[in-house]
Chains A and B, each alone.
Chain A
């Protein structure tokens, strides 16, 4: 009877339940040093140096990297479909930002190789909503991009083709203005001597400058795919369009219809258009580049999983551009996200897991006072004299000690290993010694420090990040550049501390799919108090904005002669 009336409150177990099996699994896989309970007793099997044994340790912690590429692809497909459906609706708040996979100066040749089903992640996208919509030059490159990413939306095609067409039109219009009279009514034109030639030269150079300026300013690979149209870019496009249309209008009415004979006037008309285009370009520079250089806001980015936070100063940016800025800095500022370091050791939690059992006697309907029960249990648990903080403290102290011991061993092993090799000197060539290239040298000395390194990495739970291959590569790097062991130790900081995310192998940690969640439309500019979130699957970056305060600097002139001093006296004299 009591069994039926008993209500076991398991809620304490529920959030931890997700972690328990992986912890158990991982702890089973990881031998001795991983277990918190075995203080100082090392029970690991002797390992061969060339197996870093990555797979068995992945089961618990790196559910991310353990997934196959196909499942990731599915997830990305889903995300992409979701973003597609969202693009159309207004007032929708959650959008996806995707960064391209290639570095900025990549050429198209490699794209074909990488083009597999993960096209969503690795394609470079140039769209009308992207950063550089106006390009006066090299439309072929853009069209090639469009061919490669053939699955893209029609809207994006439309955007970029519109921008390209407008740019081309604007570029060719002055030339057309000057050529049409020559073609159509050449015989009637007045001869135009040196002024015209001067104007021709100036038009040529101005167009060249416009070309170069546009190439420098607009034609860059977009860093990211932005979900929404840029206000300023759209504004500039409209401006250029209006400009060109009005010029054509006047040209058509005044010159073509009436067959104006004054060729110099026509050429001057064309020159004025080029000047106007240059000024529009200047406006573009100011609006798109200069305005966000001067810092106006401080962004605080906090990682939700472990609380790592950074501050950045930015200028006037829209929310989506600020998001991309934050992401660019995230990859080299934030230490890599290590889910293994977040959980409290099991021994500490085990006490909490034996929660209270709540018996409801004489009541059948338990649903409506479940909150009351939970609250009662929480209150009771809080009041109970709880020594888990003690456990935690000693656990931490022990862990710290162990890490330091391992680190010392590692450092000594590295130093020793480096004494085994030296650079080939001239006189050594006479002696018949085995000559190795950096790779072999790295392999040779790796063996002597493999064990120490492995144990260290396991203690600091960094082993998923460093494959043997990456370690060997790094060793090779150090050897090639003659880094002394001391420097090596400094570089070994790469292993000793969790470095920024970007230094780890791209495949594993540079996932580029982020979701931007914001309450305000993402094309709005940053304002004081705006908060947006950049989400990934297992953690998110919460970014909050604060305006940089207005500093009131006042001037105070101090005369150098005014620096005079007296002794402080408080004498008391008796009379």
Chain B
């Protein structure tokens, strides 16, 4: 019973390490983000809670570094290299992801399918 209670408070997360790809002068990651505290959260098709202003992955380019690393569409990015992404503006998120001196970004993401899987396994 204690474990079940705790489980509701723990977000099951996945760590994804993306190695940026160099394309000309840019380092690209191969996905698109949406969301932010300055954005309209009700337009987010991926969030369960429509007041969630976090950063979500809206597109993953095929064959890009993000897909290779295991990032999926609809993931919510919680941290980037240790920086929190749950309470940032859209532009801040973009900046944190596209720092020129970083070649690798380590993301902490959460996924609805992950959570559901965990819940199901706990129930069974």
Interface majority SS (helix, strand, loop, mixed), chain A: loop
- A569 close to B59 (CB less than 8 A): no
- Identify which of B28, B39, B44 contacts A571 (C-beta below 8 A): B39
- A572 close to B40 (CB less than 8 A): no
Interfacial residues of chain A within 550-575, with CB under 8 A of chain B in the complex: 566, 568-575
Chain A neighbourhood of B29, CB < 8 A: 575
- CB proximity of B57 to chain A, nearest CB, Å: 10
- B40 close to A568 (CB less than 8 A): yes
- Identify which of A569, A570, A571, A575 contacts B98 (C-beta below 8 A): A575
- Identify which of B33, B38, B61, B98 contacts A572 (C-beta below 8 A): B33
Question: How far apart are the CA atoms of A573 and B96 in the complex, in Å?
Answer: 13
Question: How far apart are the CA atoms of A568 and B40 in the complex, in Å?
Answer: 6
- A575 close to B97 (CB less than 8 A): yes
Chain B neighbourhood of A566, CB < 8 A: 38
B115 within 8 A of A: no
- CB proximity of B22 to chain A, nearest CB, Å: 14
Highest count of chain B CB atoms <10 Å: which of A566, A568, A571: A571
B72 within 8 A of A: no
- B32 close to A572 (CB less than 8 A): yes
- A574 close to B39 (CB less than 8 A): no
- B43 close to A574 (CB less than 8 A): no
- Identify which of B28, B38, B44 contacts A575 (C-beta below 8 A): B28
Chain A neighbourhood of B94, CB < 8 A: 573, 575
Q: A568-B40, A569-B39 are in contact. Are A574 and B34 (CB under 8 A)?
A: no
Chain A neighbourhood of B98, CB < 8 A: 575
User: Interface size bucket, B side?
Assistant: 10 to 19
Interfacial residues of chain B within 70-95, with CB under 8 A of chain A in the complex: 90, 94
Nearest-CB residue, chain A, relative to B58: A572
Nearest-CB residue, chain A, relative to B96: A575
Interfacial residues of chain B within 6-22, with CB under 8 A of chain A in the complex: none
Question: How far apart are the CA atoms of A573 and B43 in the complex, in Å?
Answer: 15
Interfacial residues of chain B within 31-60, with CB under 8 A of chain A in the complex: 31-34, 38-40, 43-44, 58-59
- B33 close to A573 (CB less than 8 A): yes
Chain B neighbourhood of A569, CB < 8 A: 38-40, 90
Chain A neighbourhood of B90, CB < 8 A: 569, 571, 573
Chain B neighbourhood of A568, CB < 8 A: 40
Chain A neighbourhood of B38, CB < 8 A: 566, 569
- B31 close to A572 (CB less than 8 A): no
Write the residues of chain B forming the contact surface with A, with a CB cutoff of 8 angstroms: 28-29, 31-34, 38-40, 43-44, 58-59, 61, 90, 94, 97-98
19 interchain pairs, CB-CB under 8 A: A569-B38, A569-B40, A570-B34, A570-B39, A570-B43, A572-B32, A572-B33, A572-B34, A572-B58, A572-B59, A573-B32, A573-B34, A575-B29, A575-B31, A575-B32, A575-B33, A575-B94, A575-B97, A575-B98
**What are the 5 A-B residue pairs with the smallest beta carbon separation, nearest first?**
A574-B32, A570-B43, A575-B97, A572-B34, A568-B40
Write the residues of chain A forming the contact surface with B, with a CB cutoff of 8 angstroms: 566, 568-575
Interface contacts beyond A574-B31, A575-B31: sample of 17 additional A-B pairs, CB < 8 Å, sorted by A = A566-B38, A569-B90, A570-B40, A570-B43, A570-B44, A571-B34, A572-B32, A572-B33, A572-B59, A573-B32, A573-B34, A573-B94, A574-B59, A575-B28, A575-B32, A575-B94, A575-B97
